[in-house]
Structure 1
Amino acid sequence: MVTADTRNEIEQSLGQVPSWMEDLAEPASDHSWGIFRDLTFGETELSPREKALIGVGVAAASKCPYCTHFHKEEARLADVTDVELEEAVTLAGSTQYFSTILHGNEVDLNDFVDETSEIVAFLEEQAAASAGAD
């Protein structure tokens, strides 16, 4: 249960104290609100739009209907379109798909890192060549 001060802050921020926040065990309840508040609503390096899209992708990949609903609503508040939401979910699924393949086939991480570095270098060269052609 959150302290009285935290309860007041949550009500000021959200208009109510969501029931699930009442289920947070001490001593983590006030701290949990701080993490939620600071990362979700605070000024960070990511825009609210970027944070919401990340939230949607993670929620979909972790198959959490609560988080999926929350982050989709958060994204809509940040003017994310339905098409962009679909793309974020598809990207999350694609990442999870390939992660399963990499883990299941026990691909060597060092080899993967080396190959990725080579791919990035190639793509950078292609972008530079394309920019020079303009």
Structure 2
Amino acid sequence: MASEDTRQEIEETLGQVPSWMETIADPAIEHSWGLFRDLTFGENELSAREKGLIGVGVAAAIGCPYCTYFHKEEARLADVGEAELEEAVNLASSTRYFSTILHGNEIDLEEFESETDEMVDYLEQGEVAADD
């Protein structure tokens, strides 16, 4: 059970204390609320739009219907459109797909990093040439 101060803060922030938060074990509730509050609603490096889109992508990739619903609604609050939500899910799908190929085929990480660095250099050079 959260302290009265924490319960009040949750209610002031969310309009209620969600039932799922009631299931968090006593030793973890204060910390869990702090993480949720600070990462979801805090003024950090990422905008609300970016946080929502990342949340949607991760939720889709891990197959969590709870997180998918929450983060889609979070993103919509930040004026993310349906096409952007679909693209975030597709990007997450693509990342998971290629991760499966890389892991399943046990691709050498050092070689992968070296090739990626070369591709980034090539792409950056193309951007410089296009700017000229």
TM-score range (shorter-chain normalised) is over 0.9
- Matching residue of 1:23: 23
Calculate percent identity across the aligned residue pairs. 70
Amino acid in the other structure paired with 1:62: I
Aligned-pair CA distance for 1:103: 0.0
Q: TM-score, normalised by structure 1?
A: 0.98
Q: Note if 1:110 corresponds to 2:106.
A: no
Distance 2:127 2:88 in 1: 24
Q: TM-score, normalised by structure 2?
A: 0.99
Q: Secondary structure at the match of 1:27?
A: helix
Distance 2:101 2:117 in 1: 20
- Matching residue of 2:12: 12
Number of equivalenced pairs: 132
Aligned-pair CA distance for 1:26: 1.8
Q: Secondary structure at the match of 1:123?
A: helix
- Matching residue of 1:38: 38
- Matching residue of 1:87: 87
Distance 2:53 2:3 in 1: 31
Q: Secondary structure at the match of 2:27?
A: coil
Which of structure 1's runs of 4+ aligned residues deviate more than 4 A?
none
Aligned-pair CA distance for 1:2: 1.3
> What whole-Å deviation, never above 9, does each CA across 1:22-42 have from its counterpart, x for those lacking one?
000021101100000000000
Aligned-pair CA distance for 1:3: 1.4
After superposition, the CA RMSD in angstroms is 0.4
Q: Secondary structure at the match of 1:28?
A: helix
Q: Which runs of 5+ in 1 are unaligned?
A: none
Q: Secondary structure at the match of 2:26?
A: coil
How is 1:58-77 mapped onto 2 (pairs within 5 angstroms)? 58-77=58-77
Distance 1:3 1:45 in 2: 29
> What whole-Å deviation, never above 9, does each CA across 1:100-126 have from its counterpart, x for those lacking one?
000000000000000000000000000
- Matching residue of 1:78: 78
